[in-house]
C-alpha cells in the first residue's frame, strides 16, 4: 500500500502519574483547608459538602455514622456546642487511581461547662474518592491523643 494511503498511526498519549498525584494532593489539601475554615466559621453546609453520599464517619467514643445526612446530624452538636479553632496538619497523602488517603494531626478547642476551653489534639485518617472529576470524603476517622475524661 502506498504511504499516502496507509492507515494513520494512532497518537500515543503519555499520562504522567506524577501529574495526577500532584492534582490529588493539591485538591485534598484545598478541600481539607476549606473544611476547617467552614467548621471554624460554623458553616455546616460547607463542612458537609466535602462528604460523599455514602461516606462513613468514625469518631472516638461514638458509634460509626453512615451517610452524608447522618454525618450532618452528628456534626451539628459539636458545632452548636462551640468546638472551634480546628486546625489540620497534613503529613501524608497517597493516591491509587480514583482513591486517595491522607493522614495527619489535628488540634481544636472544646468549651467546658465552666466557661473554660480544653485543647484537644490527635490524629486522623481520611479516605477520598474521585468521581466526576471531584474528590469527596468516603471515610473519615479521627482519635484524640489525650486520655478519655472519666
Arithmetic mean of pLDDT, 22-26: 79
Q: pLDDT value at position 148?
A: 76
Q: pLDDT value at position 14?
A: 40
Q: pLDDT value at position 41?
A: 95
Arithmetic mean of pLDDT, 121-148: 94
User: Which residue bears the cell 458537609?
Assistant: 48
Contacts of 108 (CB under 8 A, 6+ apart): 83, 84, 85, 86, 87, 119, 120, 121
Q: What is the pLDDT of residues 44-58, one digit of tens each?
A: 999 999 999 999 999
Residue 144 in this model has a pLDDT that exceeds 50 = yes
* Domain boundaries of the chain, sorted by first residue: 16-144
Residue 35 in this model has a pLDDT that exceeds 70 = yes
Q: What is the pLDDT of residues 78-117, one digit of tens each?
A: 999 999 999 999 999 999 999 999 999 999 999 999 999 9
Is the Cα dihedral 72, 57, 120, 92 positive or negative?
negative
The mean pLDDT of the chain is 87
For the domain made up of 16-144, the CATH class stated in words is alpha beta
pTM of the model: 0.81
Burial class (CB in 10 A: 0-12, 13-18, 19+), 109: middle
pLDDT category of residue 65 using cuts at 50, 70 and 90: very high
Arithmetic mean of pLDDT, 9-28: 57
Amino acid at each position: 500500500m502506498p504511504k499516502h494511503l496507509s492507515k494513520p498511526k494512532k497518537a500515543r498519549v503519555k499520562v504522567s502519574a506524577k501529574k495526577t498525584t500532584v492534582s490529588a494532593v493539591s485538591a485534598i489539601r484545598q478541600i481539607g483547608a476549606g473544611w476547617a475554615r467552614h467548621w471554624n466559621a460554623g458553616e455546616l453546609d460547607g463542612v458537609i459538602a466535602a462528604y460523599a453520599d455514602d461516606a462513613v464517619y468514625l469518631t472516638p467514643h461514638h458509634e460509626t455514622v453512615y451517610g452524608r445526612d447522618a454525618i450532618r446530624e452528628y456534626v451539628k452538636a459539636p458545632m452548636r456546642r462551640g468546638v472551634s479553632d480546628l486546625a489540620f496538619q497534613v503529613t501524608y497523602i497517597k493516591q491509587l487511581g480514583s482513591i486517595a488517603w491522607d493522614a495527619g494531626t489535628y488540634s481544636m478547642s472544646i468549651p467546658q461547662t465552666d466557661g473554660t476551653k480544653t485543647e484537644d489534639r490527635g490524629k486522623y485518617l481520611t479516605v477520598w474518592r474521585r468521581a466526576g472529576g471531584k474528590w469527596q470524603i468516603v471515610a473519615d476517622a479521627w482519635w484524640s491523643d489525650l486520655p478519655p475524661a472519666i
